[in-house]
Homo-oligomer: A and B are copies of this chain.
Amino acid sequence: MPKKEWIAMLLAGGQGSRLGVLTRHIAKPALAFGGKYRIIDFSLSNCSHSHIDTVGILTQYKPFLLNSYIGIGSAWDLDTSDGGVHILPPFVGEQGGRWYKGTANAIYENIDFINSYEPEFVLILSGDHIYNMNYEKMLDEHKAKGADVTVSAIQVPWEEASRFGIITTDPEGRIIKFSEKPVKPDSNLASMGIYIFKWKLLKEALQKDEARPGSENDFGKNILPMLLEEGKRLFSYDFQGYWKDVGTLESYYEANMELLHEEPGLNLYDREHPVYSTIPILPPQYIGPNAKVSNCLVANGCTILGEISNSVISTGVTIAEGAKVEHSILLPYTTVLEDARVYRAITGEKAVIKPHCILGTESRSDQRKSSIAVLADRAVCGGSRHA
């Protein structure tokens, strides 16, 4: 196995329970997003564009669904014979197995995996963020500053700061304080959950933390504060650009809808940084003779015979004649049958809206107030006129 300068470890373990029925069958990173992507595509594409060829994906879940999505990583140019994408579920020893205790424990349990590549640096990523980023620039800064740890950070609105890990730096960018979800934040610089560590240092820190009774084995709560206390050189890397945590139903809906803006924060059209995805090879979308399409994102393989507006329509969706879809996100292979209505809703993969059915609330004044209607994967909305 050749020695690597760096490898990435992607924490994809989040149960995604705040995303409700959408993540009942699918791990959060594999949830569809933006018409043709899945959430994990963004991190993996970033790795690919940053010339990282080895990625370990840490997941608590039965890995085969993620396995079958990621395959051999060829969608992201990560199918190299001496690197590649490896899914790392918790391991069962002779004494049985247990779930990862925390983000740091997940890395700790896979020290052997990382050691086998003898990397100089390890990049730690989260699997449920939407953003385009070149990690190479962060590594360059990490090296230039002679940092032990570099934490990628972004300015957030002050009123939201207490939801994040908040970083306070000196004028050189060196981190002097790190507070996980502080009640009274003294900075609005939030950690994005993206870290570069010297591997040697991280390994020692993980071993020390693992031995500490009472530790939650978490990067933000335990590892970073411990290293700060020890006087290690932690630096902040200021990220400029679009970044969104899509961990809740509202933020997921919002992030999708933002793509419909005339100038979306997230640029999917950047030729230098395409977002890769594993998608079946489907024919172009067909827009029928009586269709109306207004302010929508529509993916390949769709057949649109009805009316759609202000919506994100994913791969392989069918909208029958007379059907109407507004302010909604239709996940792959949703079928909306004749004269059905979908308002401010998210439909799971392969969901079916039967003829004349209504999903969501029709009245325009109600829509803003109402919560988002969600239909699970393969669910059928039908029979009665209201879902």
A residues near B (Cβ < 8 Å) are 1, 60, 62-65, 67-68, 71-75, 79-82, 84, 86, 88-94, 96-99, 110, 112-113, 116, 278
Asked whether, in the complex, the Cβ of B81 is within 8 Å of the Cβ of A72, the reply is yes
CA of A86 to CA of B63 in the docked complex: distance in angstroms? 10
Q: Are A97 and B98 in contact (CB under 8 A)?
A: yes
Contacts of A67 in B (CB 8 A): 86
Please give the count of copies of this chain that the complex contains: 2
Q: Bound complex: CA of A92 vs CA of B113, how far in Å?
A: 18
Determine how close the nearest CB of chain B comes to the CB of A148; give it in whole angstroms: 26
| 8 closest cross-chain pairs (CB), A and B | A97-B97, A72-B72, A90-B92, A92-B97, A64-B113, A74-B81, A72-B84, A71-B81
Shortest beta-carbon distance, A75 to chain B, in Å? 8
Do B97 and A71 touch across chains, with their CB atoms under 8 A apart? no
Smallest CB gap from A82: residue in B: B71
Are A112 and B81 within 8 A (Cβ)? no
A21 and B75 CA atoms in complex are apart in Å by 40
Contacts A/B (CB < 8 Å), 5 sampled: A63-B91, A67-B86, A71-B81, A72-B81, A91-B92
Given A74-B81, A81-B74, A112-B64, check contact A97 B86 (CB 8 Å): no
A94-B94 Cα distance, complex, nearest whole Å: 18
Minimum Cβ distance to chain B for residue A374 (Å):
23
Smallest CB–CB gap between A100 and chain B, Å?
A: 9
CB atoms of B99 and A92 under 8 A apart: yes
Nearest-Cβ distance from residue A91 to partner chain B, whole angstroms:
5
Residue from A67, A72, A94 with most neighbouring chain B CB atoms (10 Å): A72
Give Cα distance in the complex from A94 to B73, angstroms: 28
Cβ of A63: which chain B residues have Cβ within 8 Å of it?
91
Contact B112 A91 (CB under 8 A): no
State in angstroms the CA–CA spacing of A72 and B79 once bound together: 7
Contacting residues, chain B, for A75 (C-beta < 8 A): 81
- With A73-B72, A81-B74 already in contact, the answer to whether A91 and B89 are too (CB < 8 A) is yes
In contact, A68 and B98 (Cβ under 8 angstroms): no
A60 to B96, CA, bound (A): 11
Kindly provide the distance from the CB of A47 to the nearest chain B CB, expressed in whole angstroms: 16
